[in-house]
Each structure stands twice: as structure tokens, then as C-alpha cells.
Amino acid sequence: MRALIVLCACFFAVTNLIAQSFMMNPYGCAEVQSLNGKWNAIVDIFGKGESMKLYQNRRPTKDTEIVEYAFGGGLTLDVPGDFNSQSAELKYYEGNVWYQRTFAAKKNPNRRQFIYFAGVSYEAAVWLNGALVGRHEGGFTPFQFEITKLLKDGGNDLVVMVNNSRRVDGIPAMVFDWWNYGGILRDVLLVERPQAYVQDYLVQLKRGQTGVIAGRVTVAGATKPQPVTLSIPELRLQKTLTTDERGDATFEVEARPQLWEPASPKTYAMTLRTGDDLVRDEIAFRTIETRGTDILLNGKPVFLKGVNVHEEIPQRLGRAHSDADAAAILKEVTALGCNFVRTAHYPQNERICRAAEKAGVMIWEEIPIWQGIEFSNPVVLKKAETMLREMIYRDKNRGAIILWSVANETRPSDFRDKVLTELVALTRKLDATRLVGAAFDNIDYDQATSTFTLKDRVADAVDVVGVNRYLGWYKPFPADPKQLKWNVAPKQPMIFSEFGGEALFGRHGSPEIAHSWSEEYQEELYRKNLVMLRNVPNLRGTAPWVLFDFRSPTRMHPQNQDGWNRKGLLSDQGQRKKAWYVMKAYYDSIAK
């Protein structure tokens, strides 16, 4: 594990992104006003709204004035929430949707105001009272803009243009195996802070020690060295720091917190106070590292009993966004016997991450570099860097997150190798306290020796190698599963990060006929994979694909899919397929 590197307080502007001042954890601030609820909306199919200045939200001021575009009296959409699941006409829609609402605020010359978006897919442009505030690209990470100078006493008019069109130079790109939900998917908050406020912080165990808490704090807006008091009452810890002229302070303090682990997911209430500003958070302390082919949690080998999940509530046909949604997903994760979840293939909402931490579930978190990425385009690298920075910035204090992943199922090339190895290096620079990984499916098979191998420069660069292989589904087993050998990343921990096959709940048939789409075939496929996995000497975790059946337009079999990927261990209605019981028994057989 590498030395702690101070994270940047501001991220680079990329293409049409406008640089923002970031604030960590607005949910821990007292001065927060939710802007969730019903918003007015206009569907802008031909993308004419900006040229027609729809953001001005004009209203007639005299009888002879005509306003062709206006909010109010028409479509309304729930925020947070995707627009695809809220209107039958928008089920497959990709393009511009304009959102509008008013809110009341009181302007205070001694305070600063920010508008915070926890997630908008995929591009957002924000106007307040007719003035452009900023733009953001990326559907799965938060962003915010300062609006102090634009805010009015009394009523304020907020307009957001959202576009979820797929892009050749986007991340993800043109084709991906999940639903392209568009809209304001997560919370919108109005946050008020003092002139000098805690902009960023990191609180963790010092590398290699369990008796020292170390970290840093950044205070924005300070004109001179600023005192900051760190308090963790349960540990009887209180320490006052003094920032330098840039607003930064680092610290180390002796303490012996109870270490977070799945069987005992302990967290500690923490506050940071400077002047009139107070930030609260819950912090979990643990260590994660590799030693040879082992993954060590708190210095002890751990086997990752996992499953892949999408940020989706299939019964509702929409994105997950609430505490109740997070609880519903994590309830099924833990019922399966998991201590680990892969939030594939993008950073999921903060409520899921925090709920997993409370439930004792470790997390693999990934940026959405998923197949088909235009690695030769230098703009793509900059976008990927921004998404990586935003993900780590948001979640670096979540102890449950043990691994940052930079990619899933990408094809080796000089451009791809360069981009991904640079992202691995950047990840380690931004956060030296966690493991770095990626998932690979470019696995070779030698028929003469019945052995699987992997040659990939990116695999050599990461700490943990994930392998996606759908034996028994897209390809038959090339030999008896008991005879198959694995020689993949032999000096590193390997996680079987995806395997499985499709089945319709309630469909029954021969366990030997793949095209039956039967529960029995999926069940037998899982049994064979688990037999094969006994021959992986460096196997340190498994994550079948996937927890629930999920929506995907690429799945077009009219009888068996109809827009659904049916690889779930649970149906789209939460019913357990036969394969669920196979994985449950396997995980129950592994010591905690």
C-alpha cells in the first residue's frame, strides 16, 4: 500500500464540463434544503430548447405576447427518478428533457449557497433565474455549482436541461448492457455554508497501523490560517488543527477504534467544526491490502462472497434512488450470504454505499468504462479521469469500499493499455488506502493442457484481477469442469467477477438443454462453474452475474427476454430461481 496523497479540491474542466468547487458530504451539513419532488418538464425531441432560450422560462407580460414554450400545466416528473419509467411515451426515449421548479430562499451576504446534484444522466446544463450556472457530463457521480451571486431573496427559478443520448466519445459509449435511464436520477440539494467552510476531508487509519488515525482537512474561503476541530466522541478523541494559507491541514492522532468487518460493521460518529461550519459523518475504520495471492481485511485473509448488482428496482422498472430502495437491494444481497457486492458497472448512489457499510458488505466500485470505448480519442481519457476523481472524491471516506475498478471487459490495444494504466496510476495517487482492479474477459484457452490463461499489460498493473467468463452459456465448457485448469494472474488475487446464464423463473426443462432457458439448466450451469472454480489456486472471491433480472434493450429474444437480461438469481419480481439456492449453499459452506 502506498503513502497517502492529498486529493485535489477542484477537478479539471473537460470538454464541455465547467470546473466546479466541490464539497464533500452535503448530507452531513445542517443547512440543507431538499429540492426533490415534482418538477415541471418539457420533452425537447429535436434539441431546440436552448436556441429558443427555454431556460428563461418566459411568461407573457401583456395580452399580445406569445410564448410558445412554457413550463407548467403539462408534464411533471418526480425528482429523483428517471424519466423513462414515468411516462410510457418516454420508455425508450433518448434526448433532451427540460426540468423546471421554483424554490424560496433567503439571501445572506455572509453565507455561500450551492446547488448540489447527486446524479444526472448523462449530461446536464443548469440555469438559475435565467443565467447559466454550469454544465456537467457523466451520469453516475455528483456535481455542484456555487450560486451565491445568482440567488434571489424569495422565489428562484431553477431550470435543468438533461440529455441521455448515447455518444461515441461517451463513457459508457454507444452500446451497453443495461437500460439507458435518463433524468435527474438522484437528490437535488440547496446547501448553505459560511464564507469559510470544510470543503474536503479524509479520516482513516494511518497506513500500516491500527492505533493511529490520520488524514487531512481542506477549508475553502479562509483568508488566514483557520482552526478546525476534529471530534470522535466515542473514542474520546478531540483534536484542533490549524490550516495553512491554502486552507489545508493534516493530522495524526493515537486511537484504537474497533475495526469494521462484515460480522461487526462498526462506524463512529465524527464531526469537523471550523468557525460557524459543522460537518457530520459516520466513519468506518479498517485496513485492506494484498499479500501474495491473499486479500487481507484487517490483516486477516478474507474470501469475497459476492454478487453483482445494478442500481435498479426491477419491480418498479426504474432506477434505485432512496433509502428504501437501498434497503431492498441490500436485504437480498445479505440473504444470499454475501459479504461483498460489485456495483457494476458504475458508481451507484450514495445511499446504497452507506447502507452497504451499515450492513457489513464490502464494495467493488467501478467507473463505467464498459466495452466499445473510444480509447484513441484523448478527450475520453480526460472524461475518464474526471469520473474517477468524482467517484473517489465522494466515497473515499466509506470504509466498506475496498476496491476501485477502472474498467470492465475492454479489448487490449496500445491506446487502451495506455489509458487504463494511467487510470490505475491516478487511482493510486488519489487514494493509496484501497486496492485497484479491473475485470477482464480476454481469456485464452489451451486445449492441449485444458488451461485458461490471461496476457494483459493492464492485469499486470492492478492489485486484483477480475475474470468474467460465461462457460455453459455463451460458450460450452471445453472439457469436464473438474479437468479445467486456471493459470490467470498466478501471483495476484483473482476474483471470478462474472459468471452465470439466463433462465426464466418458473420455466422448467432439461438441465442439459441450454436453449430451454429453464431454471434447471441455470442451476446445473452454476454447479458446474463451482466445480471448476476449485481448480483456481488464487481464487479469492466470486460474484455471479447478477442478483436480479434487469432491463436491457440489447436483449431482444421475444419469448424469453423482451428487453430483459434474465441472468438474475432472482426474477424481476424478486422470486428465487433454483440457482440462487446453489450459490446460497456455496457461500454458507465458506467460513466467515
pLDDT tens digits for range 10-33: 333 333 333 344 555 788 877 999
Question: Among 193, 215, 239, where does a domain finish?
Answer: 193
AA letter at 331: K
CB 135 within 8 A of CB 125: yes
The DSSP code sequence of 175-207 is --SS----EE-S-EEEEEEESSEEEEEEEEEPT
Backbone dihedral angles phi then psi of residue 89, each to the nearest 5 degrees: -70, -20
Question: Among 133, 159, 193, where does a domain finish?
Answer: 193
Angstrom distances, CA of residue 149 to CA of 6, 219, 352:
30, 20, 34
Give the pLDDT of residue 23. 55
How many alpha carbons lie under 13 Å from residue 316 in its C-beta half-sphere? 17
Strands (E), 441-556: 444-446, 451-453, 464-468, 485-487, 494-498, 539-542, 550-551
Domain co-membership, 172 together with 208:
no
Domain co-membership, 119 together with 249:
no
Residues 85 and 75: their CA atoms lie apart, in Å, by 14
For the question of whether the overall pTM of this predicted structure is more than 0.85, the answer is: yes
Domain co-membership, 178 together with 228:
no
Residues 539 and 452: their CA atoms lie apart, in Å, by 14
Residues 393 and 431: their CA atoms lie apart, in Å, by 9
Any domain includes 182: yes
Calculate Rg over the CA atoms of the chain: 25
CB 79 within 8 A of CB 121: no
Q: C-alpha dihedral over 444, 448, 450, 456, to 10 degrees?
A: -20
pLDDT tens digits for range 526-582: 999 999 999 999 999 999 999 999 999 999 999 999 999 999 999 999 999 999 999
Domain co-membership, 497 together with 457:
yes
AA letter at 157: D
- The C-alpha cell 436491457 sits at 552
Give the pLDDT of residue 236. 97
Give the pLDDT of residue 221. 94
Task: Copy the grid coordinates of residue 138.
Answer: 457523466
CB 201 within 8 A of CB 7: no
Pairing status of strand 268-274 against strand 277-283: antiparallel
Residues 476 and 498: their CA atoms lie apart, in Å, by 16
Residues 556 and 296: their CA atoms lie apart, in Å, by 42
Any domain includes 203: yes
Of 509, 522, 520, 588, which is closest to residue 549 (Cα–Cα)? 522
The DSSP code sequence of 107-133 is --TTEEEEEEES-EESEEEEEETTEEE
- The parent domain of residue 445 ranges over 441-592
Of 270, 358, 326, 241, which is closest to residue 25 (Cα–Cα)? 270
CB 397 within 8 A of CB 281: yes
Any domain includes 301: no
CATH number at residue 526: 3.20.20.80
**145 class by beta-carbon count within 10 Å (0-12 exposed, 13-18 middle, 19+ buried):** buried
Cα–Cα–Cα angle for 511, 514, 517, rounded to 5 degrees: 85
Any domain includes 431: no
Any domain includes 386: no
The stretches in the chain having pLDDT less than 70 are 1-24, 592
Buried b (16+ CB within 10 A) or exposed e, 237-275: beeebebeeebbbeeebebebebbbbeebbbbebbbbbb
Domain co-membership, 126 together with 249:
no
CB 462 within 8 A of CB 424: yes
CB 170 within 8 A of CB 387: no
AA letter at 351: R
Give the pLDDT of residue 24. 58
CATH number at residue 237: 2.60.40.10
Q: How far apart are the first and last CA of the chain?
A: 25
CATH number at residue 125: 2.60.120.260
Residue 22, classed as helix, strand or coil, is coil
Residues 379 and 119: their CA atoms lie apart, in Å, by 21
Q: What's the total number of domains in the chain?
A: 3
Any domain includes 102: yes
Domain co-membership, 465 together with 520:
yes
Q: Across the chain, which distance is largest between two alpha carbons, in Å?
A: 85
Domain co-membership, 117 together with 238:
no
Domain co-membership, 202 together with 178:
no
Domain co-membership, 509 together with 496:
yes
Task: Copy the grid coordinates of residue 264.
Answer: 461487526
Domain co-membership, 220 together with 118:
no
DSSP for residue 367: -
Any domain includes 276: yes
Residue 93, classed as helix, strand or coil, is coil
Domain co-membership, 215 together with 109:
no
Of 135, 117, 124, 122, which is closest to residue 171 (Cα–Cα)? 122
Angstrom distances, CA of residue 188 to CA of 36, 86, 126, 181, 431:
6, 18, 12, 17, 27
Any domain includes 385: no
Domain co-membership, 585 together with 470:
yes
Question: Among 259, 289, 319, where does a domain finish?
Answer: 289
How many helices (H) does the chain have, and how many strands (E)? 7, 37
